[in-house]
Amino acid sequence: KKSCDILVVIGIGGSYLGAKAVIDALSSSFAWLEGDKPAIVYAGQNIGEDYLYELQALLKNKKFGIISISKSGTTTEPALAFRLLKTQLEEQQGKEAAKRLIVCITDAKRGALRTLATQEGYKTYVIEDNIGGRFSVLSPVGLLPIACAGLDIKALIDGAEQMMQQCGITTPFEENPAAIYAAARNSLYQEQGKKVELLVNFHPKLHNISEWWKQLYGESEGKDGKGIFPASVDFTTDLHSMGQYIQDGERHLFETVISVLEPNHTVSFPHDDANLDGLNFLAGKRVDEVNKMAELGTMLAHIDGGVPNMKITLPKLNEYYIGQLLYFFERACGISGYILGVNPFNQPGVEAYKKNMFALLDKPGYEAESAAIKARL
């Protein structure tokens, strides 16, 4: 039984991207219309006033719950959204009922969100100190929203554990997929000057897996003037927009293709007597057969055009294989960062914009910075 109709997941970066990636990959493409589980929506991932207004309008007179995810509780985007939505929930449901509809995932002992959760009596889960946001999808940060979406988090963890064993330090290099991927991408970068990696999928449900992957690799490797730039494309859609550049543009690209071997459903082309579209040669074939030939044809064309390709194959889209994929990318990211010569587990560069923003907003404690930045303007 649903305890709420809409669940708002509040977080930014790794605090929401991993959950969104898995939920979108494994749920119906039209889940929000089907209504048998809480609709999952997101907040705190932007500072869009129109977005927040429209979200609050959607939630008006609805029974909704909140999962607030933040180690500190003071990160601007999620803290702003949580204050707005907590106030709205308390006004609509009453303070006592709101307590049962708010869950916080935060530090075990420290921070504003931990303090608030303790004071108000919210249910909490812990983000361990040694887990950065972009590596947190297989912790409560990702697992709780994924479970609320009705997905099998045990199978997700089982897949990750299997891949952890396959990528262990005792596994020979030639049998370790994470080590092979990390070495190959660094070889392309350092020896062939391939500075941009495109993560490619031919399955529309994988779009947000790519968004999660971009943060994972961009934030882990983009340091000290180094790093492969992580980008992504959804094929065949983007072949009609980015295809020309990939085929014939500057040769600084390589592609990593995620291929799903077997779809979860079957759709076949019908015969049409008039055949005005000329597609009767496809009659009786599955849609996925056409997609697979587009995939193979694209890889061959791009290789011929000077864009190296690697391929990662998932047998099916399910929790077990997505769990494998997530751990594979996380493990490879750590290996790749060390090959590159950077610390893949810190993110010093993300603070620069925050300092400027706080100075421009005249945040207390930033008086000197405020004067300096306004002098520049």
229 with 195: CB under 8 angstroms?
A: yes
How far, in Å, CA of 35 to CA of 55, rounded? 18
Ranges of H-type helices in 38-137: 49-59, 76-93, 95-100, 112-120
Phi, psi angle pair for 245, to nearest 5°: -65, -45
User: Rounded to an integer, what distance in angstroms lies between the CA atom of residue 374 and that of residue 196?
Assistant: 36
Structure tokens at 91: 């006004």
Cα four-point dihedral sign 111, 114, 116, 119: negative
Element (H, E) at 196: strand 196-201
- 161-171 per-residue burial string, b: 16 or more CB within 10 A, e: under 16: eebbebbeeee
Provide the 8-state DSSP code for 125.
E
Tokens of 207: 């779009």
Q: Which of 314, 347, 309, 343 is nearest to 328 (CA)?
A: 314
Structure tokens that stand for 312 in this block: 């990662």
Closest CA to 102 of 21, 14, 43, 24: 43
Quote the CA–CA distance of 73 and 15 in Å, as a whole number. Answer: 12
Active site residue 354: yes
Give me the catalytic one of 219, 255, 295, 330.
219
* Number of other CB atoms surrounding residue 64 within 10 Å: 22
Distance CA 184, CA 308 (A): 10
Q: Order of strands across the sheet with 309-314? A: 229-234, 196-201, 253-260, 309-314
Say whether 255 is catalytic: no
Given the residues 240, 250, 265, 351, the one annotated as active site = 240
Calpha distance 116→123 (Å, rounded): 11
The helix (H) or strand (E) run that includes residue 201 is: strand 196-201
According to DSSP, the β-strands at 6-10 and 64-69 are: parallel
Instruction: Please list the active-site residues.
Output: 219, 240, 354
